[in-house]
Amino acid sequence: MKQVKLIVNDKEISVPEGTLLIDACDQHGIYIPRFCYHEGLFPSGNCRMCLVKIEKNPKPVPACMTPVAENMVVSTETPEIAEMRKAILEFILINHPLDCPICDKAGECMLQDQYQAFSGESSKFKEDKIPKGKLYHFSERIVYDAERCITCTRCVRFTRDISKTNKLGIIKRGDRSYVALAPGDTFDDAYSLCVTDICPVGALTSRQFRFKERVWNLEKTDSICAGCARGCNISLQQRNNKILRIIPRFNPEVNQYWMCDFGRDYYLQIAAERLTGARIEGTPSTYENFVAVVADVLKNNAANTAFILSSHATNEELAAAQKLCAQLGIQQFYSKADRVWHPDSAEVQQDDFLILADKTPNQKGVEKYFPAAQPLSGLESNGKSFTFVWGPNVLAELVEPTQTIVLSTVADPVTDKAKWVLAGRTAAEKSGSFTNFAGVVQSFKQAISGEQNYDDLAFFNDLLKVLTRD
């Protein structure tokens, strides 16, 4: 692509043709403050925070609406610009409530941050602030505070350009304007929580997360969403080993800046129905004993064992399982979806944006490590074969409980009856990698420690250790 040279603050920089000035500056470490501009949205230039001076231009221009041009001479740090930024912040703050101590956004609020960085001056506003509605329940998920809103229109542009539901708009005029739904409508949008991520202030907040935790107390771990085969890049945010919030991470090739609402609920749902501990014939066992017993059972039944694979397994786990099966000589493999879409659920089955019909994160990995795996429908329930069930979603009548080993995360009819049961881990509790639907391998780190459950990878390695030691 053609490069364009321009001068910003007396320094020559070079960026691809067509780049917006604000992005060009970002790429070269020159931060221009902004509210309405978001890299993932079509710019609108309305907050006026990113105004900069361009030589020979009589008026300052919004950097978010100005493409770079050859030999453009730009100043972002003149005394005039500094004064203007203070003034814009002052304008925004005259009607914005100073309720940071009770605002959920505090700590990750662009208005707080940019006021600290670019102003810090006290307001000269002596008048009364404009009262507006503070509690609009847009949906079961989202609540809107019109007083905190700075009408940057990020959320409006999100529903217009990204989720394409056009649910939100600005109504009324001037300093009376606020974001609203059509009368009687609800914010029914599979990506609605994205507006809480991009809201620069605390106007749009998640009803599920708000008042739960101050954001600076959250410990954040880069992870991959296991809700579907897309593999959206996410940040798992927890405190005291409890996941409190999931927000998307930028990945230009996978999910850009976004993720669906269901992906954010996913771990919260799983947490409710977890399987715990190690069990042999309904009696709790120690992990070491369990490993020893299962190693023995597998060794004796390898020839007629059907190994049912988990599409929630990481690539590393699949590799270890492959090695284990090779060692044992297990040859029958079955693949399955650990989770399928249910018509009664509120979840979207699939759309033309991020949500895919395959509701599991690593079917591609299963295909890679176990190319010979057959669909689970091919497994015959004759009561003669021995089964290793990895992960949920296997019909109980398909297996003979007395000849079944289960490694799974959730309690279901199979785990209730099986002879050997071990609680495994979800993606939040382990490290590894998934291969998404397009073949992109994405690694993630353990966010929270497993409680009363055992790392799947360690389990396979431990089995292998026991078997090769003998």
Give the span between the Cα atoms of 151 and 240, in whole angstroms: 36
User: Judged by CB, which is closer to other proteins: 28, or 160?
Assistant: 160
User: Judged by CB, which is closer to other proteins: 48, or 239?
Assistant: 48
Query: To which H or E segment does residue 280 belong?
Result: strand 278-280
Q: What is the strand order of the sheet 242-248 is part of? A: 219-224, 233-239, 242-248
Q: What is the strand order of the sheet 305-308 is part of? A: 283-284, 278-280, 420-423, 404-408, 386-390, 305-308, 332-335, 374-375
Residue 47 as a binder of other proteins (CB under 8 A): the answer is yes
* Site map 132..151 versus other proteins, x via CB under 8 A: ------------------xx
In this structure, the strands spanning 305-308 and 332-335 are parallel
Which tokens go with 366? 């299963």
In the complex, the smallest distance separating the C-beta of residue 201 from other proteins, rounded to whole angstroms, is: 13
Residue 48 as a binder of other proteins (CB under 8 A): the answer is yes
In this structure, the strands spanning 3-8 and 11-16 are antiparallel
Kindly give, in sequence order, each residue whose CB lies less than 8 Å from that of residue 59, ignoring residues fewer than 6 positions away: none
Q: Return phi, psi of residue 239, to 5°.
A: -145, 140
Give the span between the Cα atoms of 203 and 89, in whole angstroms: 17
DSSP designation for 159: I
In the complex, the smallest distance separating the C-beta of residue 43 from other proteins, rounded to whole angstroms, is: 9
Q: Which of residues 359-418 bind other proteins (CB under 8 A)?
A: none
Interface segment toward other proteins; rule CB under 8 A; list 8-16, 131-139, 168-176, 221-229: 168-176
User: Judged by CB, which is closer to other proteins: 31, or 42?
Assistant: 42
Residue 239 as a binder of other proteins (CB under 8 A): the answer is no
Distance of CA 250 to the CA centre of its chain: 9
Give the span between the Cα atoms of 209 and 141, in whole angstroms: 9
Phi-psi bin for 329: left (phi > 0), alpha (psi -120 to 50), beta? Answer: left
Please select the residue that binds other proteins; options are 94, 100, 411, 467, rule is CB under 8 A: 94
Residue 51 as a binder of other proteins (CB under 8 A): the answer is yes
In this structure, the strands spanning 404-408 and 386-390 are parallel
Please select the residue that binds other proteins; options are 63, 92, 405, 406, rule is CB under 8 A: 92
In the complex, the smallest distance separating the C-beta of residue 83 from other proteins, rounded to whole angstroms, is: 8
Interface segment toward other proteins; rule CB under 8 A; list 57-65, 202-210, 402-410, 430-438: 57-65
Q: What is the number of alpha carbons within 13 Å of residue 164 lying toward its C-beta?
A: 4
Q: Which of residues 171-230 bind other proteins (CB under 8 A)?
A: 172-177
Interface segment toward other proteins; rule CB under 8 A; list 166-174, 236-244, 327-335, 379-387: 166-174
Please select the residue that binds other proteins; options are 7, 73, 100, 170, rule is CB under 8 A: 170
Please select the residue that binds other proteins; options are 169, 239, 251, 411, rule is CB under 8 A: 169
- Partner residues linked to 222 by β-bridges: 235
Interface segment toward other proteins; rule CB under 8 A; list 23-31, 48-56, 446-454, 456-464: 48-56
Q: Which of residues 5-44 bind other proteins (CB under 8 A)?
A: 44
How many chain residues interact with other proteins (CB under 8 A)?
36
Residue 95 as a binder of other proteins (CB under 8 A): the answer is yes
Q: Which of 234, 218, 220 is nearest to 443 (CA)?
A: 234
In the complex, the smallest distance separating the C-beta of residue 108 from other proteins, rounded to whole angstroms, is: 21
Please select the residue that binds other proteins; options are 45, 97, 277, 401, rule is CB under 8 A: 45
Alpha carbon of 255 to those of 40, 146, 233, 252, 260: distances in Å? 11, 29, 7, 6, 10
In the complex, the smallest distance separating the C-beta of residue 35 from other proteins, rounded to whole angstroms, is: 8
User: Judged by CB, which is closer to other proteins: 2, or 124?
Assistant: 124
Give the span between the Cα atoms of 18 and 1, in whole angstroms: 10
Binding site for other proteins (CB under 8 A): 44-49, 51, 59-60, 62, 65, 83-84, 87-88, 90-92, 94-95, 124-128, 130, 150-151, 169-170, 172-177
